[in-house]
Structure 1
């Protein structure tokens, strides 16, 4: 086990409203990746949290007749933290930007940049998107159409713009154009996938303007440390959470142990902040830049990006209430390509649930345990001679585990599950071809039946481990049904690099038929 920390972050989510499945998607993918690294025996730190300052939150609180602190406290406790439990997220930390550790760390960071002359006072005049909490360059301002007629809107995301004039402090972002381009060239995997990398390079190549880092027309934010008439621009402050959460400005020993982050997982609509502004800030502060920013695509419902105006937003708990948390995690990891836009539907969830989880995986576990119960009184028998049929299973399992492991390193959970499902399909095919029920009838005195069923049980042992990061509840049930807890230790203690070694379940282990891992459900509809 390495002493270094594998540090993964989600974006900190903006708490102007309740979470939707896009938030759940990022968080689950990060959880799968970090659980897999834990299963390797690595020292892992997984961070998520909430972004609670800014003009949009202030206005939302005012609309609801409460203070902004009351508004964010209510949403975090009633909506955002419960999401982690709903989706079985094993995060190590949850940071809120209203916490003292974040405030202290943020002030320390910007005081350092001010002392380094990376910040200066100026004034801003131009368009601002409250919806995106973003200053919009003139090239990206267009006239609105349809319901936005008469307004200026952002060409980037379509949000309405407000013309504002105010005194600000600015970060010398323009100093980092060539430094960033050189960095991208020297670190080709820093921003992924390739489409996000190309967009970042194109954006920086157009030229960078100095960036406002403060607001002076409202006070819901963290004070600029050298001038309390200003609060930090919400994006500038929010990006710092990745550093303040691990001790920047408050625990430098901890920060030095954990930083830099290995992967920032973000939606593609905020990749530019993480791939351009964030590394420039760190360069200015003399701190290491994260190893990778990975931008996933949009989730499309009925071919359209989710939004309230289209009434196609879906809450994660709606899906979990129907299919369960394991199926939720499995579906989004298997059905979508992380890094690309992808469409979902209730019908597809229902079809995959039954075809892949209930019939493919769940039925496999049930059948094997039932046959060991019927033919060997629930006790794992000693296997006989290995034939080419068994060797084919053994070889495929080793190959699939290696491919899944490599896919996780490539931040491709969908490819990891494709590899793992080769084991499910192989075992189902093996049982069909070997027909143990027929062997039990035609040749009951041979050890062939024992060989078939121990091979299947060993395959299930491997599946319990490699599926534990994805479907932890079902994997734990399967592990228990195989008697593996007492024979081999806890499921979380099994290591990816050793699980393909064959013959680990001891002869004589008690096998019990598990409760239905994925019981059939009625057809789901929107």
Structure 2
């Protein structure tokens, strides 16, 4: 039976063009979704756009646009990443979608029924860029360090609040019981210490007269929901909660089958994803997320990329120059998964040359050329594994299980180097000239290349498919990866179909 697997990114605000930082997050999630599908899992992969809040409302007004029309335009730009980055998401949710609005309102009602929502006067310093309250300790010279060009605003109005403080003990118990709830461990420790210091109830509404662009609060026409309270609910509304119908008598709903899931988020989302959202779920009497992976920022000369700083890298432009697979491979393997990574096109070019043009691409051409030349274009009889393939897969699996994408890519690159070393040490051209039998070596190299093709399918889907096709294997006909990757899967007698160069030199 296929196992259900649910993974979701955060939803980017539609206040700016897509940038390379979000491309990192969604490619990481896509690699995991593709990896799980190779094992036969039934995958729901969610992404979308966060479309409410003061920041977006002001942007729309500044452009003389209706907020919904403004959001429509930006949502289309984010959805276009699917083609540019070859993304396999199944769901693209917008927080203005009617079904999400209805779900957010039902979620509110459930928290209200638990006594966790109340109204009081609200005075706080607020960063519109983050859409978050800020304490004095979080500000530098009375400015948000993430959005230093924006003035901190003072909000003074009556709002609804969520009793976050009530869930301090339950959150600490969750972190203690599930030490892998947040990955990496230092992020779990960071949020644990934050919660341990004490939680203050947070505002979950805004006066409609001042900020009308939000989900209406149930039974109160004067208020709309605060953007975070609404947006976080997308993780379950996309699964049909609460209104998903049973497909057949006795079948579990989509929500019941797929929740809890894995959330992928940036480090600036740590508090919302791993403390606010779990507390909200507890209030609504719903299970906590399965796991939350927190990645670092892509920086530019050490600074966070942001529109306000003018240092944003356009993923569409980078893809146009280097190709989708190359950009995916660099995002996954050329930057640290847990920490910040500084963007450099020069390093991208070096990575491309070393690991794609001279690595995977060159190996593919060498092996297929030898298979054609010395094997008459047919795969010879099977030969034993001389490449420690099982160890390679153990390293690869462990890396992806721990969200260490750069280690998974490094494992592939090392395996490619192992094949290159085998070619260099065995010198098949010399043995063939001396009329020695090299059929066993050709099989080992061809089967090793098949292993590379399988391993890069989640990372570089097109390149992986092309490698396998040239070895006579159709990706659509693949079975469970656990079986497919056993040594000897390449059938003797299969015809080799050498194609174009995978990664031309820059």
Query: CA offsets, 1:242-263, max 9 Å, x none?
Result: 01110112216221121111x1
User: 3-state DSSP class of the match of 1:295?
Assistant: strand
Give 1:66-215 correspondences, 5 Å limit.
66-77=65-76, 79-141=77-139, 144=141, 152-154=142-144, 158=148, 159-215=150-206
Q: What is the CA–CA distance in structure 2 between the aligned matches of 1:175 and 1:310, rounded to whole Å?
A: 38
Contact 2:385 2:444 in 1 (8 A): no
Match of residue 524 from structure 1:
none
Q: Which residue of 2 aligns with 1:436?
A: 428
Aligned equivalent of 1:219: 212
CA contact 2:375–2:442 (8 Å) conserved in 1: no
- Post-superposition shift, 1:140? 3.2
Q: Return the alpha-carbon distance in structure 2 between the equivalents of residues 491 and 357 of structure 1.
A: 24
**Which residue number in structure 1 is paired with residue 410 of structure 2?**
418
What's the TM-score once normalised by structure 1's chain length? 0.91
Structure 1, unaligned runs of 5 or more: 145-151, 522-526
Q: In the TM superposition, what are the counterparts of 1:211-290 in structure 2 within 5 Å?
A: 211-216=202-207, 217-251=210-244, 253-261=253-261, 263-290=262-289
SS of the counterpart of 2:235? helix
Q: Secondary structure at the match of 1:228?
A: coil
Match of 1:147 in 2: none
Indicate conservation of the 8 Å contact 2:389/2:487, yes or no: no
- In 2, are the aligned partners of 1:104 and 1:250 still within 8 Å (CA)? no
The answer for the alignment partner of 1:498 in structure 2 is 483
CA contact (8 A) 2:301 2:342 kept: yes
* CA RMSD after TM alignment: 1.6
Contact 2:478–2:484 (CA under 8 A) maintained in structure 1: no
| Counterpart Cα distance in 2 of 1:190 and 1:304 | 28
Q: Which residue of 2 aligns with 1:405?
A: 397
Alignment of 1:431-510 (within 5 A): 431-443=423-435, 446=436, 448-485=437-474, 490=475, 493-510=478-495
What does 1:347-426 align with in structure 2 at a 5 Å threshold?
347-383=346-382, 386=383, 391-393=385-387, 396-426=388-418
Deviates further, 51-60 or 373-382 = 373-382
* Kept in 2: contact 1:50–1:95 (CA 8 A): yes
How many residue pairs were aligned? Answer: 496
CA distance in 2, matches of 1:350, 1:494: 35
- Equivalent position SS for 2:347: helix
* 1:117 shift after superposition: 1.4
What CA distance in whole angstroms lies between the structure 1 residues aligned with 2:30 and 2:344? 23
Residue number in structure 1 paired with 2:499: 514
* TM-aligned CA deviation for residue 491 of structure 1: 5.1
Deviations 1:225-278 (Å, cap 9, x if unpaired)? 1212100000111111001110112216221121111x1110001111111110
Deviations 1:48-79 (A, max 9, x none): 010000000000001111011010101111x1
Q: 1:465·1:491 contact (CA, 8 Å) conserved in 2?
A: no
The TM-score, its normalising length taken from structure 2, stands at 0.95
- Provide the rounded CA distance (Å) in 2 between the counterparts of 1:492 and 1:317: 32
Using the TM superposition, give the Cα deviation of residue 421 of structure 1 relative to its aligned residue in structure 2, in angstroms.
2.0
Alpha-carbon spacing, 1:182–1:42, altered in 2? closer, same or farther (3 Å): same
- C-alpha distance in 1 between matches for 2:212 and 2:195: 31
CA distance in 2, matches of 1:399, 1:500: 12
CA contact (8 A) 1:365 1:514 kept: no
1:391, CA displacement in angstroms? 4.0
Q: Could you tell me how far 1:157 is from its partner in structure 2?
A: 5.7
Q: 1:309, CA displacement in angstroms?
A: 4.2
Contact 1:127 1:164 in 2 (8 A): yes
Question: Which residue number corresponds to residue 333 of structure 1?
Answer: 332
Structure 2 residue matching 1:13: 3-state secondary structure: coil
The whole-number CA distance in structure 2 between the counterparts of 1:391 and 1:286 is 52
SS at match of 1:14: coil
Equivalent-residue separation in structure 1 for 2:128 and 2:147 (angstroms): 12
In structure 2, the residue corresponding to 1:12 is in which secondary structure? coil
